[in-house]
Amino acid sequence: MSIKGDYVSVETDEFEGLTTIEHLRHCRHRGGANELTLSWRRNIRQTSDRMILDLEIKTSCSGGWLPSQLVVLADDQRIELNYFPNKVCDYRRGDLYEIGLFFLDPAPCQLRTLCDAASLKLKLYSTERNEHMLLPEQFCIQLQLQARQFYNNAFDQTQYTDAVTGVAPHTEDDSFAAHITRREKRYRSLCRQRLIWGMVWLGIFGGLCLIPVFSKVSLSSSASDLAIILALLSSLSWIAPHVQIFWIEQQKNKECPRCHHRAIKLIDYRENVYQVRSVEQIVNDRLTGEKKSRQVTVTDHEVTQDFACMDCRHKWTRSHISRGF
């Protein structure tokens, strides 16, 4: 696979006689229990040239949410694209993933219609559930921008040059970048608060522990109770930022460390033996009912996970030690 510029990747399969051009970016929309991801792709063979709009649906609905048709309103022109399942649905961590596609035929003409439209609206229908989903305007603008970038790189480099030279208006949601900036500032502030309150709590707790050492110093019962209350309050002040830090770290683990989009995919998983150790285990004797101690051997593994971002193509590795018991 080769990367052509900053927008598309080109992959050639000589055995199948297939050339695949894919846009490196995706458009994602979260609405209710569904999360949609759309991306552009072109398959070129000696006998055919197909323009494809890929769709991935992540849903938590019981039974899934299977689309049937995508209706596009490009100015006054109505385009109906039928949905074709492309992959067997599978469950991952309680969510159902459905992967399919829409064919744009003829390839360059329909794509050109979408690129030239002054007003673009999209609505996704599900005949099975008798429901529809109207995609937001910001999503349609971003999808149209990526369509122009794709047309410039996959069909005609003289068209839509403003979409690839930075002259085109910025259509990404600036609130997302602002949200990430605020979250990082909040994270650093919470880390400082946790450190300060942790030192305060250790100071108060250490003082209470040292009081009995000095016999000449005696505190009344009310003063002792007040000191204990202050120690408990300071510990609560440490726990509050610690819980918020833990929640932010959990959110960051679900995102790409470069673009912060939730488009990560596990591409490799490895386990290697880290160490073999002997531990003591307490068991109940079935005959006597008494508790006995015995030595058992457990194996710890070093787990390595390789991830890739489906949006920015960034790859990274995470590793941790999995205790055998």
- Whole-number pLDDT of residue 169: 44
Instruction: Tell me the pLDDT band of 212, cut-offs 50, 70 and 90.
Output: low
Side-chain-facing half-sphere of 285: CA atoms under 13 Å: 8
Q: What's the average model confidence in pLDDT over 80-94?
A: 75
DSSP state of 1: -
Residue 52 pLDDT greater than 90, yes or no: yes
Query: Tell me: the pLDDT tens digits for 56-67?
Result: 888 877 666 778
Greatest C-alpha distance within the chain: 98
Q: What's the average model confidence in pLDDT over 47-57?
A: 90
Considering only CA atoms, which of 252, 267, 273 is closest in space to residue 317? 267
User: Sign (positive/negative) of CA torsion 83, 84, 87, 90?
Assistant: positive
Characterize 277-314 residue by residue with b for buried, 16 or more Cβ atoms within 10 angstroms of its Cβ, and e for exposed. Answer: eeeeeeeeeeeeeeeeeeeeeeeebeeeeebbbbbbeb
Residue 20 pLDDT greater than 50, yes or no: yes
Residue 2 pLDDT greater than 60, yes or no: no
Euclidean distance between the first and the last CA atom of the chain, given in angstroms as a whole number: 43
Q: Which of the pair, 233 or 215, is modelled with greater confidence? A: 233
Query: Tell me: the pLDDT tens digits for 101-146?
Result: 999 988 788 999 999 999 999 999 988 778 888 999 999 999 999 9
- Whole-number pLDDT of residue 185: 92
CA angle 173-25-269, nearest 5°? 115
Residue 214 pLDDT greater than 80, yes or no: no
- Whole-number pLDDT of residue 208: 65
Cβ atoms 77, 25 nearer than 8 A: no
Annotate 156-199 with DSSP letters as a single string: -TTS-GGGTTT-SPP-S-HHHHHHHHHHHHHHHHHHHHHHHHHH
Considering only CA atoms, which of 25, 140, 37, 26 is closest in space to residue 97? 37
Characterize 117-156 residue by residue with b for buried, 16 or more Cβ atoms within 10 angstroms of its Cβ, and e for exposed. Answer: beebebebbbeeeeeebebeeebbebbbbbbbbbbbbbbe
Instruction: Tell me the pLDDT band of 292, cut-offs 50, 70 and 90.
Output: confident
Cβ atoms 269, 318 nearer than 8 A: no
Residue 252 pLDDT greater than 50, yes or no: yes
Helical segments of 79-173, H only? 107-116, 137-154
- Whole-number pLDDT of residue 30: 82
Range with the poorest average pLDDT among 142-151, 162-171, 173-182, 184-193? 162-171
- Whole-number pLDDT of residue 210: 65
Which residue carries 């552009």 as its tokens? Answer: 40
Query: Tell me: the pLDDT tens digits for 276-289?
Result: 888 888 888 777 87
Instruction: Tell me the pLDDT band of 168, cut-offs 50, 70 and 90.
Output: very low
Rounded-to-integer distance, Cα 249 and Cα 298, Å: 30
Main-chain phi, psi angles of 303, to 5 degrees: -100, 130
pLDDT-above-90 percentage for the chain: 26
Q: Which residues contact 148 (CB under 8 A, 6 or more apart)?
A: 115, 159, 160, 163, 168
Both tokens assigned to 313: 């193509």
Instruction: Tell me the pLDDT band of 172, cut-offs 50, 70 and 90.
Output: very low
Whole-number average pLDDT of the chain: 82
- Whole-number pLDDT of residue 4: 60
Q: What's the average model confidence in pLDDT over 11-32?
A: 87
Side-chain-facing half-sphere of 180: CA atoms under 13 Å: 13
Q: What's the average model confidence in pLDDT over 53-78?
A: 84
